[in-house]
Amino acid sequence: MSFTLAIVGRPNVGKSTLFNRLVGKRLALVDDQPGVTRDLREGDAKLIDLRFTVIDTAGLEDATDDSLQGRMRRLTERAVEMADICLFVIDGRVGVTPQDEMFADILRRKNAHVVLAVNKAEGKAGDAGAIEAWSLGLGEPVRLSAEHGEGMDDLYRILVPIADGFVERALADAPVVDVDVPEGSEEEDDPEAYKPTEKHPLQIAVIGRPNAGKSTLINKIIGQDRLLTGPEAGITRDAISLRADWSGTPIRIFDTAGMRKKAKISDKVEKLSVADGLRAVRFAEVVVVLLDVEIPFEQQDLRIADFAETEGRAVVIAVNKWDLEDDKQDKLFELKEMFERLLPQLRGAPLITVSAKTGRGLERLREAILRAHDIWNRRIPTARLNSWLGAMTEAHPPPAPGGRRIKLRYMTQVKTRPPGFIVMCSHPDMMQDSYKRYLVNGLRDHFDMPGTPIRLTLRGQG
């Protein structure tokens, strides 16, 4: 696992020189696909024993003066979005310029993780610049000479802990981190707390069999934003996601298309492998299982939907190519019947008909995804759970194996994403699955939590 570092800064500060030093002869990017911008160079960098991807915002010198500012800004923003860390370079001999300040602003606004570098600081040349650099408010600058290779060990020392932290976060991100809630908390939850934001966009994966229409759907959702996020990210990076604003909802979508492109380039498999599908699921908060209306609920679809449930992801079923269907009403009935029969573990999950090609149904899909995310994050106060539990056991008492009735004493929600509950009881090992299902389905109905995986654990009181 590795990270991506973007080198940003105004022209002539030494970005390319630094890029070349980090990459050496290992320049990896060869992208001759039409439409892919060539403004961002990407390479495999090595610094002592650190290996990472480096992006250089080169190629601006060709720009005419009046377009330079805007292009530079756009390019930098894009690089920032693609990167985990930004190395912001200024020229130590010139000191801080108004243009540098503009870059600092962009980085601050984008909430980028910034390392400030004062270049051309060989000998004592950069002393004044290094002091001035503090005024950018981006912390302590590291002094470098890209040309002479000085300061590289300092850069290394700064990057190591960041890289370690990033790897840890990436690992923790893979299965989305559970939020532990103090036991017995009485607090009402606050939907604002988990509303998708720029900083924490809603993570979505679209999975389904080849040809279901995944790429078409993702392209439709991303729309023009795709150009901003840069499709070339998919070629050299492993974890591929695209950021977009989907009708006002900040999202990150797992780029199944980019993944396939990558597979094509390396000439391996044309289709997504199962492993790729699994990776997509791990990435996501909400998994959209995309079915082809002409061949719905095939073995592969069922397996991947089941995996999403097992991994505790919120699931939305989308039936694509709905434009091809003539007898929509009958078909919908048939689909719902199949869904209930073949995926009982996802009971109540939304089933949305869409046409990725025409864009019909996409707004309903967006709403279903948001709602699923909301439920997935939800927390129910203990008092409400316990009064519900009382009513449930009264209506339908737990079994009495061997004449000894199991007593359910107390219940609390211990986690969210997905919701997890603990019920304290006597003889938890004797509890029948059917009664557990009764409780889980009851929770779904009473607290309006359809579709989301619900974890319910019985625990004896020691």
Is the Cβ of residue 303 or residue 409 nearer to ligand GDP in the bound state? 303
- Is-cis flag, bond preceding 210, omega within 30? no
From first CA to last CA, the distance across the chain in angstroms is 42
Q: CA–CA separation, 355 vs 153, rounded Å?
A: 54
Of 44, 178, 189, 323, which lies in the binding site for ligand GDP, with binding defined by CB under 6 A? 323
Can residue 426 be called a binding residue for ligand GDP (CB under 6 A)? no
Of 214, 243, 261, 373, which lies in the binding site for ligand GDP, with binding defined by CB under 6 A? 214
* Smallest separation, CB 361 to ligand GDP (Å): 9
Can residue 54 be called a binding residue for ligand GDP (CB under 6 A)? no
398 is in an annotated binding site: no
Q: CA–CA separation, 125 vs 106, rounded Å?
A: 27
Q: What is the DSSP letter of 38?
A: S
Number of H helices, E strands in the chain: 15, 16
Size of the site for ligand GDP (CB under 6 A): 30
* Smallest separation, CB 61 to ligand GDP (Å): 6
Q: CA–CA separation, 55 vs 235, rounded Å?
A: 13
Q: Which span (22-30, 197-205, 208-216, 374-382) binds ligand GDP, by CB under 6 A?
A: 208-216
Query: Which of the residues 104 through 143 are near ligand GDP (CB under 6 A)?
Result: 119-120, 122
> Do residues 382 and 414 make contact, with C-beta atoms less than 8 angstroms apart?
no
Can residue 12 be called a binding residue for ligand GDP (CB under 6 A)? yes
Q: CA–CA separation, 260 vs 268, rounded Å?
A: 10
* Smallest separation, CB 274 to ligand GDP (Å): 14
Q: CA–CA separation, 159 vs 137, rounded Å?
A: 19
* Smallest separation, CB 58 to ligand GDP (Å): 5
Torsion 282-287-292-298 (CA) sign: positive
Phi, psi torsion values for 59, nearest 5 degrees = 85, 15
Can residue 300 be called a binding residue for ligand GDP (CB under 6 A)? no
CA angle 274, 246, 35 (to 5 degrees): 70
Is the Cβ of residue 203 or residue 216 nearer to ligand GDP in the bound state? 216
Q: Which span (80-88, 275-283, 318-326, 369-377) binds ligand GDP, by CB under 6 A?
A: 318-326
Of 2, 216, 382, 413, which lies in the binding site for ligand GDP, with binding defined by CB under 6 A? 216
> Do residues 399 and 432 make contact, with C-beta atoms less than 8 angstroms apart?
yes
Can residue 320 be called a binding residue for ligand GDP (CB under 6 A)? yes
Which amino acid type is present at position 96? V
| Neighbour-count burial for 13-38, b at 16+ CB within 10 Å, e otherwise | bbbbbbbbbbbeeeeebebeeeeeee
User: How many C-beta atoms surround the C-beta of residue 348 within 10 A?
Assistant: 15
Is the Cβ of residue 77 or residue 323 nearer to ligand GDP in the bound state? 323
Phi, psi torsion values for 12, nearest 5 degrees = 80, 5
- Is-cis flag, bond preceding 418, omega within 30? yes
Q: Which two tokens stand for residue 109?
A: 């606004």
Can residue 274 be called a binding residue for ligand GDP (CB under 6 A)? no
59 is in an annotated binding site: yes
Can residue 419 be called a binding residue for ligand GDP (CB under 6 A)? no
Phi, psi torsion values for 24, nearest 5 degrees = 60, -125
Can residue 356 be called a binding residue for ligand GDP (CB under 6 A)? yes
208 is in an annotated binding site: yes
Tell me the residue length of the chain.
462
* Smallest separation, CB 10 to ligand GDP (Å): 7
* Smallest separation, CB 214 to ligand GDP (Å): 3
Is the Cβ of residue 84 or residue 255 nearer to ligand GDP in the bound state? 255
Give 8's Cβ-side CA count (13 Å radius). Answer: 35
Query: Which of the residues 146 through 165 are near ligand GDP (CB under 6 A)?
Result: 146-148
Is the Cβ of residue 365 or residue 439 nearer to ligand GDP in the bound state? 365
Q: Which span (10-18, 131-139, 335-343, 370-378) binds ligand GDP, by CB under 6 A?
A: 10-18
Can residue 53 be called a binding residue for ligand GDP (CB under 6 A)? no
Can residue 241 be called a binding residue for ligand GDP (CB under 6 A)? no
Of 40, 50, 58, 365, which lies in the binding site for ligand GDP, with binding defined by CB under 6 A? 58
Which amino acid type is present at position 405? R
Give residues in contact with ligand GDP (CB under 6 A).
11-17, 58, 119-120, 122, 145-148, 208, 210-216, 320-321, 323-324, 355-357
> Per the annotation, where are the binding residues for GTP?
9-16, 56-60, 119-122, 208-215, 255-259, 320-323
